[in-house]
Amino acid sequence: MKPPLRYVADPSPLVNEFANFCHQWDLHRAMRAMDAMERHGVFADAITYSELIKCCSARGAVQEGKRVHEHIFCKGYEPKMFVVNTLLNMYVKFNLLEEAEDLFDEMPERNVVSWTTMISAYSNKLNDKALKCLILMFREGVRPNMFTYSSVLRACDGLPNLRQLHCGIIKTGLESDVFVRSALIDVYSKWSDLDNALGVFDEMPTRDLVVWNSIIGGFAQNSDGNEALNLFKRMKRAGFLADQATLTSVLRACTGLALLELGRQVHVHVLKFDQDLILNNALIDMYCKCGSLEDANSAFSRMVEKDVISWSTMVAGLAQNGYSRQALELFESMKESGSRPNYITVLGVLFACSHAGLVEKGWYYFRSMKKLFGVDPGREHYGCLIDLLGRAGRLDEAVKLIHEMECEPDSVTWRTLLGACRVHRNVDLAIYAAKKIIELEPEDAGTYILLSNIYANTQRWEDVAEVRKTMTNRGIRKTPGCSWIEVDKQIHVFILGDTSHPKIEEIVQRLNDLIERVMGVGYVPDTNFVLQDLEGEQKEDSLRYHSEKLAIMFGLMNLSREKTVRIRKNLRICGDCHVFAKVVSRMEHRSIVIRDPIRYHHFQDGVCSCGDYW
Largest Cα–Cα separation, the chain: 105
Within its chain, how far is the Cα of 351 from the centroid?
18
| 179 or 523: CB nearest DNA | 179
Which of 14, 56, 180, 228 binds DNA (CB under 7 A)? It is 180
Q: Which span (125-133, 347-355, 452-460, 538-546) binds DNA, by CB under 7 A?
A: 347-355
Least distance to DNA from the beta carbon of 495, Å? 24
Site string for DNA, 43-82 (x = CB under 7 A): -------x---x--------------------------xx
Q: Residue 437 interacts with DNA (CB under 7 A)? A: no
Which of 69, 71, 166, 252 binds DNA (CB under 7 A)? It is 252
| 36 or 112: CB nearest DNA | 112
Order of all β-strands in the sheet with 490-495: 490-495, 482-487, 565-569, 592-595, 600-604, 607-608
Query: For the residues of 267-297, what is the DSSP string, one character each?
Result: HHHHGGGTT-HHHHHHHHHHHHHTT-HHHHH
| 415 or 590: CB nearest DNA | 415
Q: Which span (9-17, 339-347, 393-401, 546-554) binds DNA, by CB under 7 A?
A: 339-347
Q: Residue 217 interacts with DNA (CB under 7 A)? A: yes
CA separation for the pair 246, 225 (Å, rounded) = 13
Say whether 593 sits in a helix, a strand or coil: strand
Interface positions, 97-126, toward DNA (CB under 7 A): 111-114, 116-117, 120
Strands 482-487 and 600-604, how do they pair? Answer: unpaired
Least distance to DNA from the beta carbon of 89, Å? 4
Least distance to DNA from the beta carbon of 536, Å? 37
Q: What's the alpha-carbon Rg for the chain, to the nearest Å?
A: 31
Least distance to DNA from the beta carbon of 221, Å? 5
Query: Total residues contacting DNA (rule CB under 7 A)?
Result: 74
Site string for DNA, 11-50 (x = CB under 7 A): ---------------------------------------x
Which of 5, 62, 412, 482 binds DNA (CB under 7 A)? It is 412
Which of 342, 470, 570, 591 binds DNA (CB under 7 A)? It is 342
Least distance to DNA from the beta carbon of 136, Å? 15
Are 92 and 122 in contact, with CB atoms under 8 Å apart?
no
Are 506 and 457 in contact, with CB atoms under 8 Å apart?
no
Least distance to DNA from the beta carbon of 289, Å? 7
Q: Which span (244-252, 431-439, 469-477, 551-559) binds DNA, by CB under 7 A?
A: 244-252
CA separation for the pair 142, 360 (Å, rounded) = 63
Interface positions, 182-211, toward DNA (CB under 7 A): 182-183, 186, 208-211
Q: Which span (261-269, 274-282, 294-302, 438-446) binds DNA, by CB under 7 A?
A: 274-282
Least distance to DNA from the beta carbon of 48, Å? 12
Least distance to DNA from the beta carbon of 318, Å? 12
CA separation for the pair 483, 470 (Å, rounded) = 28
Q: Residue 181 interacts with DNA (CB under 7 A)? A: yes
Cα separation values, 582 from 20, 372, 507, Å: 76, 40, 19
| 247 or 262: CB nearest DNA | 247
Say whether 592 sits in a helix, a strand or coil: strand
| Residue 158 backbone class (left: φ over 0; alpha: ψ -120 to 50; beta: rest) | left
Least distance to DNA from the beta carbon of 39, Å? 28
Q: Residue 87 interacts with DNA (CB under 7 A)? A: no
Least distance to DNA from the beta carbon of 195, Å? 18
Least distance to DNA from the beta carbon of 5, Å? 21
Are 611 and 320 in contact, with CB atoms under 8 Å apart?
no
Q: Residue 542 interacts with DNA (CB under 7 A)? A: no
CA separation for the pair 253, 249 (Å, rounded) = 6
> Under 8 Å CB-to-CB from 128, ≥6 apart: which residues?
none
Cα separation values, 170 from 135, 166, 182, 210, Å: 18, 6, 14, 21
Interface positions, 131-170, toward DNA (CB under 7 A): 145-148, 150-151, 154
Are 31 and 59 in contact, with CB atoms under 8 Å apart?
no
Say whether 601 sits in a helix, a strand or coil: strand
Q: Which of 49, 45, 52 minimizes the C-alpha distance to 8?
A: 45
Which of 89, 321, 547, 609 binds DNA (CB under 7 A)? It is 89
DSSP-assigned beta bridge partners for residue 16? none
Interface positions, 221-240, toward DNA (CB under 7 A): 221
Which of 243, 261, 397, 463 binds DNA (CB under 7 A)? It is 243
Within its chain, how far is the Cα of 417 from the centroid?
25
Q: Which span (95-103, 281-289, 511-519, 604-612) binds DNA, by CB under 7 A?
A: 281-289
Interface positions, 301-320, toward DNA (CB under 7 A): 307-310, 312-313, 316
Site string for DNA, 369-408 (x = CB under 7 A): -----------x--x-------------------------
| 48 or 213: CB nearest DNA | 213
Q: What are phi and psi of 482, to 5 degrees?
A: -145, 135
- Cα angle 347, 352, 353; round to 5: 100
Are 480 and 550 in contact, with CB atoms under 8 Å apart?
no
Least distance to DNA from the beta carbon of 344, Å? 4
CA separation for the pair 462, 448 (Å, rounded) = 14
Q: Residue 354 interacts with DNA (CB under 7 A)? A: no
Say whether 595 sits in a helix, a strand or coil: strand
Which of 25, 73, 94, 273 binds DNA (CB under 7 A)? It is 273
> Under 8 Å CB-to-CB from 191, ≥6 apart: which residues?
157, 162
Least distance to DNA from the beta carbon of 378, Å? 8
Least distance to DNA from the beta carbon of 178, Å? 4
The alpha carbon dihedral of 584, 588, 593, 594 has a sign of: negative
Q: Residue 249 interacts with DNA (CB under 7 A)? A: yes
